[in-house]
Amino acid sequence: MKLFRNKRIKLLWDIFRLLLVFVVFYIIFININLTNLWDVLHQIQVWTVILFLLCVFSLIFFQGFRWWLLIRAFTDKLSFIESMSIHFSTLFYSLVLPNSTVQEVIRTVYVTKTTGYVIGWSSAWICKIMGVVVSLAFSAIGLLILPELPIPSIVYKIVFTLFILVCVTLLLSFTKKVSRPIRNLLLLYIPQSSLAWFENLREGIYRFRDKKKALLFSLLITILAQLMMFAGVAILLKGITGKAYLIQVVAFIPLIEMISMAQPLTPGGIGVREALVAVMFKHLNL
């Protein structure tokens, strides 16, 4: 009976998510002038679409390369070809399941038999937190140099506060002095056997203290991946409007991506991302 009830709740949740995607796209669709849309599509130059797709592919490639580089710092059992194959094959899950974290979890589960839990989970954590740090850093820089737009001051405060908090979290991850009290506190309420994942993650991150070269290269690759994302969006805007709006892209696109991929309501951020992009276009008077 309980299993039946859980399945029914899951079914209702999935239906709700699909309806939410439909509603968001419907709202966007009814605000589109189809005649103007057709004219704009005819004006887009083919080279901009090709470069945009190339930037998207490069972004995905760099994300996988960063992940492999962090694992490579400890073991050479996972080849570059094998790691990229796993990375691209698990990309599907980030499109159809609640958020991008699912891809990283499944990707890590795939390789733990080869790399071990400690290396696998710690590499996934560092990839995730490093991506958030770089995204917030670019967004903060973009907001600082952004031409005057009617943006609420709370947006600036949230971005800079999150950036500081995430940076502190990343730095504290490399010391057991902080994680030890957290571990001891969790042990008061959770059995030690259930905290194996936390122990593996804690130990793996601590080991990266001696892998500064791998961390530096991973940071550079993360920055390069972000630049590819900015370039792709800017090129697409150039093809549509004749202007790249690069500063606006740097300021808003990281925030849009983080919000759309983090929320659990729609698969892969579908609908939410498009709605947020529409808000950005409205601010740009497009």
What would the pLDDT profile of 183-210 be if each residue is shown by its tens digit?
Answer: 677 667 766 666 666 666 666 677 787 8
Percent of the chain with pLDDT over 90: 9
CA dihedral 207, 209, 215, 216 (to 10 degrees): -160
Other CB atoms within 10 A of residue 226 CB = 22
CB 268 within 8 A of CB 99: yes
Alpha-carbon distance of 167 to 129, in angstroms, equals: 9
Length of the chain: 286
pTM above 0.85, yes or no: no
- What is the pLDDT at residue 223? 94
Q: What does the DSSP 8-state code read for residue 188?
A: T
Percent of the chain with pLDDT over 70: 64
Q: Inform me whether the pLDDT recorded for 222 exceeds 90.
A: yes
Alpha-carbon distance of 104 to 91, in angstroms, equals: 9
- What is the pLDDT at residue 217? 93
- Cβ-proximal residues to 219 (8 Å cutoff; 6+ apart), any chain: 130, 134
Which of 13-22, 78-87, 228-237 bottoms out in mean pLDDT, i.e. has the lowest?
Answer: 13-22
- What is the pLDDT at residue 263? 61
- What is the pLDDT at residue 3? 43
The pLDDT of 53-81, averaged and rounded, is 89
pLDDT tens track for 79-108:
899 888 888 887 766 655 555 566 677 788
